[in-house]
């Protein structure tokens, strides 16, 4: 299969493929999604086979506006309107209880809930509108590997497996959306993202708990990205705490390990001999934007035996960064034996 790369003036062509049941990857402000018509179960099934993704993993349904969800949702949490007004379009996915039979079990993972998001990307909103149906859109990569933040990343993983990619350059945020469960009484974060716990609590005026439960391979997750190990390159990753860099580098040299650094400029400047992917600056925003690109670049270069990755405090946007990094590293920090 030829994988075509579509530009702004070719959105109608990409939408025509989606209406026909083909798969087309699309850009968002977070990562690129692997698009399929959410109302065509056979098309959605292709998403799982192309990604190598477990079929019990629910998919996020992408819509053009809030009213598009009403055909599927059974009931809304009382805070829904306030949340949507503040955060849509944007990197926030909302889980609702849905009407029986309104969406295929292939989309929901067999659950009585479904996840919805309005992405903050004009090209993709036009694509959904032109298709005339909501789109499922898990990250457009091989399952378990770092998510794609450019069309080139998608092409690398899925060339010849999907019909097309709608290109909109690099994504702005770099990690997947926050997932907020509104199917129960208390709004609960199932996956952290750029819409932080602090931002939600400020708008809602209540405490918003974070569900830190990581499911095993045999459990059905309520939201994407809840698996214990995820986003992992083939090269092993170790997280390095600020006080451990010198010891970690010495350990690698002693054991003849070639190291790839995934760090801010502040750390990278201290260890110039190693292969490296350096974030644009020392901020958590730059680190989050560069995390998946860096993991991919260091892995694909095949120069490193191990990747040393910089950690950040586990709060605000750092919570989203560390959530992904911990899974990429299978929860492993450096600790000299």
Residues 54-97: tens digit of each pLDDT: 777 889 999 999 999 999 999 999 999 999 999 999 999 999 99
**DSSP secondary structure letters along 218-240:** TSPPSSTT-BSS-S--SS-EEEE
Same domain, residue pair 199 and 249: no
Domain-located, residue 113: yes
Same domain, residue pair 24 and 105: yes
Domain-located, residue 292: yes
Record the tokens describing residue 43, joined without a space.
């098309």
Domain-located, residue 268: yes
Give the mean pLDDT of the chain. Answer: 93
Residue in this structure with the two tokens 């199932």, named with its chain if needed: 190
Residue in this structure with the two tokens 């009585």, named with its chain if needed: 112
As a whole number, mean pLDDT of residues 3-26 equals 98
Supply the CATH number for residue 15's domain: 3.90.870.10
Helices (H), the chain: 11-19, 41-51, 80-87, 105-108, 122-131, 151-158, 197-204, 245-254, 265-268, 284-301, 317-328
As a whole number, mean pLDDT of residues 169-198 equals 97
Same domain, residue pair 263 and 144: no
**DSSP secondary structure letters along 85-140:** HHHSSSSEEEEEEE-TTSS-HHHHTT-SEEEEE--S-HHHHHHHHHHTS-EE--BS
Same domain, residue pair 50 and 141: yes
Same domain, residue pair 46 and 188: yes
Residue 107: which pLDDT band, with cuts at 50, 70 and 90?
very high
As a whole number, mean pLDDT of residues 16-28 equals 98
Same domain, residue pair 270 and 197: no
**Number of folded domains in the chain?**
2
As a whole number, mean pLDDT of residues 31-40 equals 98
Domain-located, residue 335: no
- pLDDT for residue 225 is more than 90: no
What is the Cβ-side half-sphere exposure of residue 202, based on CA atoms within 13 angstroms?
8
* pLDDT value at residue 319: 97
Domain-located, residue 212: no
Same domain, residue pair 107 and 172: yes
* pLDDT value at residue 271: 87
Same domain, residue pair 161 and 26: yes
Same domain, residue pair 285 and 157: no
Print the domain residue range for 249. Answer: 237-328
Whats the size of the chain, residue-wise? 337
Report how far residue 226's alpha carbon sits from residue 213's, in angstroms, rounded to the nearest whole number.
Answer: 8
Same domain, residue pair 193 and 301: no
Of all residues in the chain, the percent with pLDDT exceeding 90 is 87
Spatial contact of 80 and 204, defined as CB atoms under 8 Å apart: no
Same domain, residue pair 197 and 249: no
Residue 30: which pLDDT band, with cuts at 50, 70 and 90?
very high
């Amino acid at each position: 299969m030829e994988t075509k790369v579509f530009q702004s003036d070719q959105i109608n062509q990409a939408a025509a493929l989606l209406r026909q049941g083909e798969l087309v990857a699309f850009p968002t402000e977070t990562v690129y999604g692997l698009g399929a018509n959410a109302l065509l179960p056979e098309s959605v099934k292709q998403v799982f086979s192309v990604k190598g993704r477990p079929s019990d993993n629910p998919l996020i349904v992408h819509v053009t506006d809030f009213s598009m969800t009403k055909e599927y949702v059974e009931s809304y949490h009382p805070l829904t309107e306030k949340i949507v007004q503040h955060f849509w379009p944007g990197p926030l996915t909302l889980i609702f209880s849905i009407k029986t039979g309104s969406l295929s079990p292939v989309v929901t993972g067999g659950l009585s809930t479904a996840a919805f998001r309005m992405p903050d990307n004009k090209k993709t909103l036009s694509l959904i509108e032109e298709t005339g149906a909501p789109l499922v859109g898990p990250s457009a990569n091989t399952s378990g590997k770092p998510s794609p933040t450019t069309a080139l990343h998608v092409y690398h993983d899925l060339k010849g497996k999907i019909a097309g990619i709608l290109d909109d350059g690099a994504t702005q945020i770099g990690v997947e959306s926050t997932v907020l469960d509104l199917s129960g009484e208390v709004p609960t974060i199932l996956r952290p993202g750029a819409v932080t716990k602090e931002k939600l609590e400020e708008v809602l005026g209540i405490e918003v708990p974070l569900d830190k439960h990581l499911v095993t391979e045999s459990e059905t997750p309520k939201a994407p990205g809840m698996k214990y190990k995820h986003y992992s390159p083939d090269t092993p990753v170790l997280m390095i705490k600020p006080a451990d860099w010198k010891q970690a580098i010495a350990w690698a040299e002693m054991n003849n390990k070639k190291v790839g650094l995934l760090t801010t400029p502040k750390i990278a400047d201290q260890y110039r001999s190693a292969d490296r992917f350096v974030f644009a600056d020392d901020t958590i925003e730059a680190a989050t934007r560069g995390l998946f690109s860096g993991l991919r670049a260091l892995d694909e270069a095949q120069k490193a035996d191990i990747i040393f990755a910089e950690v950040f405090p586990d709060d605000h946007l750092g919570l989203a960064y560390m959530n992904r990094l911990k899974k990429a590293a299978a929860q492993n920090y450096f600790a000299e034996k």
